[in-house]
Structure 1
Amino acid sequence: MTNKEVVTGAARLIELGALAPEGDFALAPTGKGVLDGTTFAIKDLFDVAGRVTGCGNPDWRRTHEPARQHAAVVARLLEAGARAIGKTITDELAFSLNGQNFHYGTPRNSAVPERIPGGSSAGSAAAVAGHACDFALGTDTGGSVRIPAALNGIFGIRPSHDAVDETGCMTLAESNDTVGWFARDAEMLRRVGEVLLPVDIGGSTTFGEVYLPRDAWALARDAVAAALQPARDRAVAAIGPAIGITLATEAGGLATWRQTFGFLQMREIWAQHGAWVEETRPHFGPEIAERFALSKETAAEPMGEAAQFRETITRRLDDMLSTGGVLIIPTAADIAPLKSLSAADSAAFRASTLCLTCIAGLARLPQVTLPVGRVDGAPIGLSLIARKGRDRALLELAARLAPLICR
């Protein structure tokens, strides 16, 4: 990789509106490996030695010191031969799915520029979709890799919880946070996994049956479900028999799962950041300010049975997928909303999206989203979910299916 090519990558981040404050730098590889000759961008939640990790908020940047060393994943990628081209914009403290940063702007969705890129890993998704780099680091707590990947028409992975080393990455909600990444093709997604993921644990080494949850598919807008169906059918044909199920048999269905996820997440967010918010009184964008206020209120409520409910769901899905099963669901219920979306539309998009993303989130499962088509010119994604700890096998499956279903 020449200096000219690195400069071009950083310049492209600027063109895409994806460059984080003070993110214009390059990091040379420190070793050689499976990522030789590749370039990547870094979400501004990961530490880079000598630089302040800004986390999408000016007051966070003002009140934190420069990092002493690279985040663990950044160091590993450099050791494997990749070159970093800079840092990318994130939603404030990663607490949004829109990708619209009140302070720093909205990275471009190259597929549909009039629509949002999705967040919170908006800049990283924009960087990959806009060909600024080969892959990019993101984080996924409630869908912050999966959703922007789907909305930008690229590949993305949320690994099993705790599968990837999170040292040197800002914590949002500890029991839900994961380190994920984006790529324009499934093979690159898999190559990054070779570097960052541990060896798979437990379960069958092959996938032989597909679970199609009716309640998850019912969330998708009719046009989205219809456009996804041919890819879903080809995936089923390649893997094994399809089994129709209802995931959420509880009263309220997947909306109850989403509410449980949100309740636990907000309690953890306030436990992690409440003291800083109270002391600093940071200037947040309106939606982020409302979410932190709600997190404070939620943290004051009794825990109740939410944690036990989560463990019940975890056991249920683990048992279902233990013998080589894979869940196939829409990644998002609809296409990317317009940038001009109202507060009500934003809330509706977030609610329907979280009903889908909370499935893997609650059970701490790995999920890969593949770009498989378009509706009204906007990309849509199809997701594969496997048993916890089967991340490498899931990436291999995605690479096998991509030529068949990504049209």
Structure 2
Amino acid sequence: MMPRMTDGTSDPLPDGLMDAFWDYEAALMSDDLEALDRLFAPGPATLRTDAAGTLVGHDQISAFRGGRGGAPRRTVVDIQVQVVDAANALVVATTELVRGGRGAQTQLWQRRPEGWVVTAAHVAVTPPAIDIRVWRVVGDPLVSGAEDGPLARETVAVKDLFAVAGQKVGAGSPAYLAAAPVENRSARAVQKLLDAGADVTGIARTDEFAWSLFGDNGHYGTPPNVHAPRRLPGGSTSGSATATSLGHTTIGLGTDTGGSIRVPSSWQGLWGIRTSRNAVARDGLLALAPTFDTVGWVTRDADLLARVGDVLLPPAPPPATSDVVLATDLLALAAPDVRAAIEEFARGWGNVVREPFDAHDLDTWRTTFTLVQSAEAWKQHATWVASRLHTLTPAVRGRFEAAARLDPAEVNAAAESLTGVRLEIRHRVADRIVLLPSTPTVAPLPGSADQSLRETMLGLTSIAGIGGLPALNVPLRTADGLPCGVCLVAAPGRDRDLLALARTIPRPA
């Protein structure tokens, strides 16, 4: 293919430029990482950007390529070249994708002693009509709400655990979805939103059986994190949270057993609330661990978060005033950048008391939570899972296998101690609002989230889980601009107090 000069002249192209371009294209199609690294300029100033965000520096670009598993197959159909000078040129290429649709790439090439290299690149492709990483099924809308109501014209992404009339519950598992019946009626929480005027846009992805905190989905692809590009979205309400972050919907309906509202809210810069245990009916909801399962939701602003609460939560007395306490020992579990963001938030709030939560038993609490959760998950799903473990992703399969091997005596001891731990947590919260990190870190890169992070995170999130407490994420940002969150925890039944308080908190710039 003969490239064309953008100014319409027939001036010759700089020597070697198009050879380098075609070498790059061949390397891209064969996923030749060594050649791709060589053809991109070394150093921290090299840029590559697409709809997900900008990668800065050769190292970031190389790491991205190494983890994506190759680029979409394509054919170059047009090339335009604008020569800046003998050592610099802009190449714009139009491509046709094998899967359908068109794409474009813009590359700034520079001649160096070692040859032509790309110093900056922008890549664009036709987006899919439905992003299957985010949605299982979607409509326009999928289910219409009432013509009028307090949530009229709002839109909802429903986590794939809730029954939606006329649809199946898939639970994030292709095998479970295939065998699931079509639901005759919607879950009560879904129906209340519909009755209030909200439309259900679609059913959003969840981590398998909602037993995850990171949101990396091995079956359908990991939902993107628009506010922390190329980082994990947080699970298991990952699809609903991403749909809300992307602006596909205004409300993400989900669940929170061990942090599945608070984690994606924190990592994606959303407002989110896990409600008090049994505050919102769970009829029509596929359970994981009924002792800890709660309904929750995420939004992009605090006012809508509270308006959803007006629909789903039971009536409550007028909001009560409370001391606000920053739990210093829990704050110490957060990474320095998250800790600094929370400290700044607390200073801006005013009269925040700093004192420890006295969580010296945090590891024991987490272990108690994990044992009871695992035992209940196995009890809920053993009949279906036992003969289908091979259909599950490795992490979730491992959790079910471990649950099947639990010592009943150990589980009974944990269940018996749970009441005492719950009372202890509620006593420490009392009538105060307690601040703690929603997550100990910003969203990690794929492959970097390990068991240590999971355990630290569960230590923080299990406090509200064991206590049956409402917990609300306020979105913050670190000094580097990455989302994180501070969690407001209160006594059971004080959900509306937290939502009213959230309305008074300005969104951080």
TM (normalized to structure 1)? Answer: 0.89
- SS of structure 2 residue aligned to 1:302: helix
Which of 365, 371, 392 lines up with 2:475 in the alignment? 371
Distance 1:372 1:62 in 2: 40
Question: 1:322: Cα distance to partner?
Answer: 3.7
Question: 1:317: Cα distance to partner?
Answer: 3.2
Identity of aligned residues (%): 37
Equivalences for residues 4-403 of structure 1 within 5 A: 14-15=130-131, 17-20=133-136, 22-24=137-139, 26-200=142-316, 205-235=319-349, 237=350, 240-249=351-360, 253-298=361-406, 300-323=408-431, 325-341=432-448, 345-401=449-505, 403=506
Distance 2:314 2:285 in 1: 18
Go from structure 1 to structure 2 and tell me whether the alpha carbon gap of 1:137 and 1:13 turns closer, same or farther (over 3 Å shift).
farther
Q: Which has the higher contact order (CA 8 A, sep 6+)?
A: 1
Letter of the 1:261 counterpart: F
Question: 1:320: Cα distance to partner?
Answer: 3.8
Q: Are the equivalent residues in 2 in contact too, given 1:12–1:132 (CA < 8 A)?
A: no
The structure where strand makes up a greater share of residues is 2
Distance 2:257 2:307 in 1: 23
Question: 1:143: Cα distance to partner?
Answer: 0.4
Go from structure 1 to structure 2 and tell me whether the alpha carbon gap of 1:109 and 1:314 turns closer, same or farther (over 3 Å shift).
same
Distance 2:468 2:363 in 1: 18
Go from structure 1 to structure 2 and tell me whether the alpha carbon gap of 1:42 and 1:320 turns closer, same or farther (over 3 Å shift).
same
Go from structure 1 to structure 2 and tell me whether the alpha carbon gap of 1:336 and 1:154 turns closer, same or farther (over 3 Å shift).
same
Letter of the 2:275 counterpart: P
Distance 1:400 1:30 in 2: 30
- Per-residue CA deviations over 1:283-336 (Å, capped at 9, x if unaligned) read 01111111111111226443353234322232233334443x111001000010
Q: Are the equivalent residues in 1 in contact too, given 2:213–2:259 (CA < 8 A)?
A: yes
Letter of the 1:172 counterpart: L
Question: 1:234: Cα distance to partner?
Answer: 2.3
- Higher Rg of the two aligned structures: 2
Q: Are the equivalent residues in 2 in contact too, given 1:42–1:84 (CA < 8 A)?
A: yes
Q: Are the equivalent residues in 2 in contact too, given 1:270–1:292 (CA < 8 A)?
A: yes
- Per-residue CA deviations over 1:206-248 (Å, capped at 9, x if unaligned) read 232122223211110112101221102223x1xx451402332
- SS of structure 2 residue aligned to 1:360: helix
Runs of 5+ in structure 2 lacking a partner? 1-126
TM (normalized to structure 2)? Answer: 0.72
Question: 1:41: Cα distance to partner?
Answer: 0.9
Deviates more, 1:362-371 or 1:279-288: 279-288
The structure where helix makes up a greater share of residues is 1
Question: 1:167: Cα distance to partner?
Answer: 0.7
Question: 1:282: Cα distance to partner?
Answer: 5.0
Count of aligned pairs: 382
Q: Are the equivalent residues in 2 in contact too, given 1:19–1:88 (CA < 8 A)?
A: yes
- SS of structure 2 residue aligned to 1:42: strand
Letter of the 2:296 counterpart: G
Q: Are the equivalent residues in 2 in contact too, given 1:95–1:120 (CA < 8 A)?
A: yes
Q: Are the equivalent residues in 1 in contact too, given 2:346–2:352 (CA < 8 A)?
A: no
Go from structure 1 to structure 2 and tell me whether the alpha carbon gap of 1:116 and 1:13 turns closer, same or farther (over 3 Å shift).
farther
Runs of 5+ in structure 1 lacking a partner? 1-10
